Amino acid sequence: MTTTSDQFLIDGKSFVTETGDDSATVVRTSTGAALTQTEIEEAGEHYDSDLKQINYAKIFNLKFGSNFISKLGASSEWMAKAITDRKYKNAFKKATNKNSANVSSIEPETSSVFATATNNTDSNGASTLNRGGSVLRYPLNEDVKSYDYLKVCAYRYKPREFSQADDKTNRLTGDYQIGDLETQRKTGNHTVWLPMEPQGLAESNSVSWDQGELNPLDAALANISGATIKGAGKGGDEAIKNMVNATGQAFNDAKAAADDDTISAFFAAQAVGNQGIFQRATGQAVNNNLELLFKGPQLRSFNYNFRFTPRDEAESNEIRKIIKFFKKSIAPERGKAAIFLKSPHIFKLKYYYKNGQQHPFLNKIKTCACTNFSVQYAPDGSYMTYNDGSMTSYTVSLAFGELNPIYADDIIESSNDMSF
């Protein structure tokens, strides 16, 4: 049973807690203080557009000991305060009705359950940023304007199963399930929000067809083989009987269509493997009944080119993290003793409309692999940096390929989106 608390305010934001037996969810509500577009963008899938609320964080330790809270849709800055500011913990304890004396000491800012906001370094120059999961985005807009974004999430690759799913569908032919992917989320930075890139907003659906030929005599021979196989289940005598009947019918059909000399010339050409003999002898060509035959679906690919131009130190650091996020995600991992290599991460791409939902007029994308990633550190043709060494501009090119093809049942014509 879940109990919802009364609404309370912290630093101008309104919240409630939804408390179960051993955990609670901190929910950012819009009734007390309206949600900002920045909050919605940061929250991603944790934003509920129907209820106009965000699941900000999960309190998994109702004794409020060390590292009692983990990040959901909240910003890294908010999480830093939730961990280190006593008034946050006291508000949570009161809302969850756990206002007991078991208050622990304030946790350090580098707690493993949130990403710090500053880019500190230790005495050796190494980053003291938390290694836990976080969300990256460019540009770093801190206003309430409405934007559309491309969301890219990285997940550990897990081989598909050969068994059937609960709905009796073959797991090898469908896309990865979101619930399964959540358990495969990349450690460290796992999500990037990027601006819409006009040239990348395109899709191309194609299937493979190839020419096929079947002349009448081959068709007759196929009929003979089929008749023989059909009778095999009833014993040898039945198979021979069916073959004789089919052969006789095929021969009669051939005699009705051509004279004996033409048929003799055809089989002579077949015997020596030279079709020119038949053409020389009869002045004819066999009607091969040429037809375009379906071979199978083809996989789609998506290509993007982003230009990053940092406007301040914070944005420079964010761009560096985004570049390293992709470099890390597409690199294979070495197994034990480096004998085998594990597959790189896979990605979910989704176009988000300004209301925080799937864009209604842009296509959906199945789970992808990143097949190419490149960075140009001096795209303007000259070497330029800011005082701290950050480049004044970057261009990043990304190529993604879907792991599974599009099938007819993936396209829902009655839906209110563009579908796959």
Whole-number pLDDT of residue 299 = 93
Mean pLDDT in the chain?
A: 77
Whole-number pLDDT of residue 270 = 65
Beta strand extents in 133-288 (DSSP E only) = 134-137, 149-155, 189-195, 207-212
Residue 169 has a CB neighbour count (10 Å cut-off) of 11
Nearest CA among 297, 263, 296 for reference residue 281: 263
Whole-number pLDDT of residue 254 = 53
Q: Which long-range contacts (CB under 8 A, 24 or more apart) does 115-120 make?
A: 115/71, 115/76, 115/79, 115/189, 116/76, 116/80, 117/76, 117/77, 117/80, 119/317
Nearest CA among 24, 26, 48, 18 for reference residue 35: 48
Tens of pLDDT along 197-227? 888 899 999 999 888 876 666 666 655 444 4
Tens of pLDDT along 141-190? 654 346 788 999 999 998 876 665 555 555 666 677 766 676 788 888 88
Exposed/middle/buried for residue 312 (C-beta within 10 Å: 0-12, 13-18, 19+): exposed
Give yes or no for a contact between 210 and 295, defined as CB atoms under 8 angstroms apart.
yes
Whole-number pLDDT of residue 332 = 93
366 CB-side CA count, 13 A? 18
Residue with tokens 């003291």: 128
Residues of the chain with pLDDT under 50: 100-133, 143-145, 224-229, 231-232, 236, 239-240, 243-244, 247
User: Using omega within 30 degrees of 0 as the cis cutoff, is the peptide bond preceding 198 cis?
Assistant: no
**Phi, psi for residue 372 in degrees, rounded to 5:** -160, 140
Residue with tokens 């939730």: 82
Exposed/middle/buried for residue 117 (C-beta within 10 Å: 0-12, 13-18, 19+): middle
Whole-number pLDDT of residue 145 = 47
Residue with tokens 């179960």: 20
Whole-number pLDDT of residue 147 = 78
Handedness of CA 314, 319, 320, 326 (dihedral sign): positive
